[in-house]
Structure 1
Amino acid sequence: MDQERITSEMAKCLGWYTVSSVYGETINLPCRLDVPQNLMFGKWKYEKPDGSPVFIAFRSSTKKSVQYDDVPEYRDRLSLSENYTLSISHARISDEKRFVCMLVTEDNVFEAPAVVRVFKQPSKPEIVSKAPFLETEQLKQLGNCISEDSYPFGNITWYRNGQVLQNTDGVNITFNKQMDPVTQLYTMASSLEYTATKADIQTPFACSVTYEGPSGQDTVYSEQEVFDIYYPTEQVTIQVLPQKHAIKEGDNITLKCLGNGNPPPEEFLFYLPGQPEGVRSSNAYTMADVRRNATGDYKCSLIDKKSMIASTGITVHYLDLSLNPSGEVTKQIGDALPVSCTVSASRNATVVWMKDSARLRSSPLFSSLRYQDAGNYVCESALQEVGGLKKRASLTLVVEGKPQIKMTKKTDPSGLSKTITCHVEGFPKPAIQWTITGSGSVINQTEESPYVNGRYSSKIIISPEENVTLTCTAENQLEKTVNSLNVSAISIQEHDEPDDLSDENREKVNDQAKLIVGIVVGLLLAALVAGVVYWLYMKKSKSASKHVNKDLGNLEENKKLEENSHKTEA
């Protein structure tokens, strides 16, 4: 312990008057003596460690003058007041001495000692040389706690989560101090070696310095520091990215393997279905444009510890659709056309038929093609559980037919004109041409109806003065068809022919015709059965008649024989 500290301790023990001051500020030492009436002068001195005095200030009571001794240590730092209070500016550590105030009279010398103590608050402690990370189960230097410019020196304490750390198993604390030879201020340093656990994750560490000040002990704390804790992997997990409900053919997927250690492993072994040897890769293994054969179990493990493994199952969903026939198909009216839409999928798939963007209730069945069957058909299938997995195929059906013609006529109620209509069926659309023989005039131009489902009509209105013949010619790429109609003069009344029937009416007429034919056929069959029965009856009757006649003949003969017998006897 230095001499100043010894002096300070002695002052405490002896009960000496002590003046506490702050480093760098002014020390005020009052002369704790009553000034006598016959005072000649007053002086201040301090005592060296060996006890020898060093005078530093003098003040005469009679001349009212002040003198300062040439002491280099206190040059330009002293001030002595009229009441003999000594002030020392810019307090230093070396000012920790025993100072004595002396009042001298002609016959006596009075003394009052005072001990000076100087205090310097240390700088805020700081943890330096910090470890970039700590490792579990390894004793590693966490850092150094440094606090500078302290007087007297202080003590450093380490904390973990606010709790004081002490030297134990897994904790090693050292302390040292250094004094600046010029300023005599201390720098304190403490080193902490620490064995971390996983419980230290996000746990703050700090240090403090406890020092002595003018008013007693005080403590200054460092900022808290959190250290990255390294620990080995204890579990491996595997993920499939992107994370979505289902994987379909054509997707790009990434297998990501993760270890729960810190730092996490950067490389893994990936085991693909059917491959016993692992593929070394970073923590991500990407597969592009996957197919259905990629379905299976996937695993990954640590490179240096293959027993630590994780697995996941992957199902790659698929959907195949085959439409037969497909593309553009041209058929003749009345033909049969089998159509099949075959679906193969990883799950149950829905099948929807559309015709010209309108949904059909069922799949199309063409046993006898009609013109209205022509159109664009689409078979669409989807897996509802697998978003975006849809397939579709289309069939463009063209129904061709040679032109078919039916001509009708209708007389205007006024009897002044007649309307002749040429009804045409066929595809491609037949072109209609009219010709007329005989005399007559066309009242207006030809009027055509819309071309719908392979049918349309053309009509003209005429007022013939005599009988004429109208000819309607319909022609398309398949054939040319001609039909004629005789038209009487407007003065002659004739039976009008009904216009062409619509599909609905035609179906009704067909149904009625079928009913009539059925009734007629039933009646014919009944008549035939009756005739057969009658024929059988007559045949039986004739046979019976012959037998009766034969019997009757025999009876007649017997009668005649009897008569003849009687006549002979007579």
Structure 2
Amino acid sequence: MAFPKNSFIWLALKIISLSWNVWAKVDVTMMENMEVSLGDSAEIPCQYSFSDHERPGIVLIQWFVKLQGSGGKRQRIFYGDDSQQMVDENTDYSGRITVAQDEQGSLLTIEDVSLPDEREFFCQVNGIAAGNGEGKTYLRVFDPPESPVIEGVLDGISVTKDLPSKVASCEARNGFPRPNITWYRDNIPIVPAQGLVKIVTLVTRESNDFYSVQSELQYKVTKEDKDTSFSCEVSFLVPGNVETARSREVNITVHYPTTVVELWKESPQGLVKEGDTVELRCQGDGNPPSPLTFIREQGLDEVLDVTDDVLVLTGVTRADSGVYQCQTLNLDSVSEVSDDIQLTVHYLDPAVVVPKDSEIMYKGESLTATCNALSSLETSTVWLKNGHQVGLGHILLLQDATYDTAGEYVCEVTVPSLPGLHTTGSVHIIVQGAPQVKDADREEAMDEAVGKLVNLSCEAHGFPLPSITWHIPGNQFTEVLSRKTDHSAHSVVSVKVTSDIIALCNATSDMGTEMKSFSIKSIPMVTSTAPYSPAEGSGVIIVVIIICILLLAILVSVLYFLHKKGKIPCGRSGKQEITKENTTKDDIVVEMKTDAKTEEAVLLKGVNGDKKGPSDQYMDLRK
């Protein structure tokens, strides 16, 4: 870039500063190293102070970079003072840097940092007569490599080899600065060891200045490595830290001879019962596995067919119990390796119930039933009736039989240690006797309103099964329910209340007859303007009757008093004299010429006949 019109002033200042340099000094402070990630912005500070003078009016700041491979040559990229700042043209930093300045320092900002930016940056401060000074910062650039890629050896590796064999390779590409690779066996670092472990590393500097690292692990495998996993880890620098990235884990195939075989029952889990499908699996510790042979030790050894090292026995019975053996051959030592297992097939025979099928008992009798089932294990027996437990153990005692005793009794035999084994048996108990009507000794009495339909229920037990008939004199009825079981009959009839009813239920069989009676007292209907309620209607009727009784009693008393005083004459053409001593109850009713069913007649009977008070008459009405 060409100097501006005041370039001569810059030159003069430079000459003067050199002449004063012997006694003036500027202290410049900069970071020794600065770290930044590739593509980020870097800010390099430059702080300065004047030791012997106050800050002069003119301070010249210049920034330089060290050229790569030039033997220490520099290139200026910026210069300026408090009044103007200039970025040099035709440099790697033209258009990528900015400089901010104040009275105590200068800040260089580099945009979009790239790998070539890793170099020394110089800050030069010139205070003219106040002296000059210089500082530098080494800018370090970091970029993490790609994730490590590991490849394991696909072929089997034999433990019989004397030298380490290649196990896996690992590569980490395009990192800066150069990354490092570490190998792990089951998350434990692997270090080189003579005759056991060898690590070969190749570092490549790519055309874009990035580093790629390849590492090969050579390892002497043993039988224990058959389940071992290998992985590699790349470590790399980032600003202010060291980070790592781990590869996936790889397994290798290890070849070794068979020294031990193991035979076990794979299914079912637990004990074996008849009908199960049994799988016996045999496995040797060699790799690749050597051929296996299954033998059943029963008299002459019997060789059995197997598939994929599994012997399948379908629908086993107790006859399949015995010792089973698995054999193989160790080719290295030419010796036989074997293992065996004892197979026991458990069983439970069908339950045998005595008495068998069904048994007839008379009421009041007792019966002992037994249930047994032969088993290879200890059994447990329970007796059930209608799903409810009624007995425990193989013996069931039925005492003092009633009709409730009748029914089917099921015995369940189980094996507690092997729930899959169970069997059942049953016996049907029939209790024979005369009909027995439910609640026959208790007459059912009820009060019902006239015109109401009433349901009467009758239930009878007995064997032979009784038949139920109804006798309801003077009333028609309809049977609305008829249900029968093996030991009971149930009938429900509907009858309309027109008057007092006596109903009889008769249960009859060849063994006898039993009867149950029902008594229905009819209650007359009462008309009311208010909505009818049985409880409220009865109360109103009672109150009205009591009031009428009281009023009529008062009226009769007044008439009698007036007659005794002679205030009321009695003629023969009207009514009889009330005071006539020989008057009877019936005569009074006739002379009053009232309906015998009216309330007045009832009340007069109470006053002139039975001499009853109002409360007594109320009780008679209730009857």
Q: Give TM-score scaled by structure 2 length.
A: 0.42
Larger Rg: 1
Q: Give TM-score scaled by structure 1 length.
A: 0.45
